Amino acid sequence: MVDSVAPARVLVSAEPLRPEERAALEADLVTRGISLSMLDVIPPSGRFFQLLRAVDAQGELLGVTSLMSVRPFVSIKQLLGEGNHVGWDTTMYYTERADRPRVAAALLNAMARRSMYYAMFFGRIDDDVRAALPRVRHRLLETDYRLGKIDCTRYTTRDDFLALHKRLRRHLRDHAKAGGTVHVREGPVEPGLARRFSELVLATYRHHGGMGRWQFKEYAYQVCGAFFTNCADAVHIYTENGGSITGLQSFVRHRDVLELSEGGFDRSRDTHHAYEAIIAESVGYAASKGLSSVGYGGIWNAAKDRYCDSDNREKVYLLQLYGNGLQYRLAGDRLSRWAFRTYFGGRFAGASGATTVVSRQPRPMA
């Protein structure tokens, strides 16, 4: 039994994991059922992404996370299923020696120090991050968004799932009648196909709009492109019509779950329910492989809301991290709620962007 070790400092760079660092982290991923191929895609490609390493006094690795950071303005850590393995990795990874809450706190504080206003997480909050919060100057807001998944243990084939959804069966007939087909590719894809996937990602991000449009192109082609061509445990489900790709949802296969990573759709044409066709195919894939569920990340649209299980939906949180007391005071509760509602409220289906403050820490403990 190795005694837990607290971090001495956090190193920030775009340097990929070294072989010995990867080996030290693998046990954590195996224990938590996370695909080891996640260690091949951090830090993501692109000039805005870094890897944060928490190390001990001797410089030995204790934990890592990836970060999108455009200094000095903002640092973002995304914890959603959607996008979690591409631009914003889903979680923090630890070595066996690490004092996990202290390592998480060190990484969070390093993020906060890189921001002019505040850094943020948006998504699920795991036990290690929650245990780290007393050591971090923060506000934790619960949003009215939820994460969606489909329990596949009840199905042995896609038809078992379709039998419960008359409307979905009708949409699949419409998709096929219009000439649509559905395809599944496992693992890395060739650069040409990856570029076509990236075009759909870019079209979808531009369609949703909002802040950050200027980096959408780099994100789609550099970050997602590298993921499409490198992730060994990726499962790409896409639709075609007339020789053109109309829709894509790329997943990562973990121990017994399929989790959405990234995707997009052709916004210049009617895709004839390509989204629904992909949902049905993802459940069929999971059932055929004996997987327990398909995770769909944030419930941003009516199709996810309709077909994801209605019970046991996980909460989505906004965690704001501050580098100093002045930042904390300037971004008060009211401003925090207003800023989130202004950007997210009404932008996606399923929620209003309302928030409730559930935790504050104006002066972090040592």
Those residues with Cβ within 8 angstroms of residue 90's Cβ, 6 or more apart along the chain or in another chain: 34, 38, 79, 80, 81, 84, 259
Residue 89's pLDDT is 45
Q: What is the CA radius of gyration of the chain?
A: 20
Please tell me the predicted confidence (pLDDT) of residue 254.
92
Question: What is the domain partition of the chain in residue ranges?
Answer: 9-145+315-361, 153-291
Number of C-beta neighbours around residue 168 at 10 A: 20
> What would the mean pLDDT of 55-84 be, rounded to a whole number?
76
Among 67-81, 138-152, 343-357, where is mean pLDDT lowest?
67-81
Rounded Cα gap, residues 148 and 304, in angstroms: 7
Who has greater pLDDT, 40 or 178? 178
Residue 80 is predicted with a pLDDT of: 47
DSSP 220: I
% of the chain surpassing 70 pLDDT: 90
What digits encode the pLDDT tens for the residues 330-357?
Answer: 888 888 888 888 777 665 666 788 899 9
Confidence of residue 60 (pLDDT cuts 50, 70, 90): very high
Q: Angle formed by the axes of helices 274-288 and 166-177, to 10°?
A: 110
pLDDT in tens, 184-211: 999 999 999 999 999 999 988 887 765 4
Q: How far apart are CA 281 and CA 283, in angstroms?
A: 5
- pLDDT tens, position by position, 94-133: 999 999 999 999 999 999 998 888 888 888 888 999 999 9
At 248-305, the pLDDT tens digits run 999 999 999 999 998 999 989 999 999 999 999 999 999 999 999 999 988 888 899 9
* Cα–Cα distance list, 250 to 5, 169, 304, 340 (Å): 37, 22, 15, 27
* CA-wise closest residue to 225 among 79, 50, 45: 45
| CATH for 153-291, options being 3.40.630.30, 3.40.50.720, 3.40.50.2300, 3.20.20.10 | 3.40.630.30
Instruction: Give the pLDDT score at 162.
Output: 97
pLDDT class for 73, splitting at 50, 70, 90?
Answer: low
The arrangement of secondary structure in 9-145+315-361, i.e. its CATH architecture, is: 3-Layer(aba) Sandwich (3.40)
Q: What confidence category does residue 77 fall into, taking pLDDT thresholds of 50, 70 and 90?
A: low
Q: What is the pLDDT of residues 306-320, one digit of tens each?
A: 999 999 898 888 899
Give residue 161's pLDDT.
97
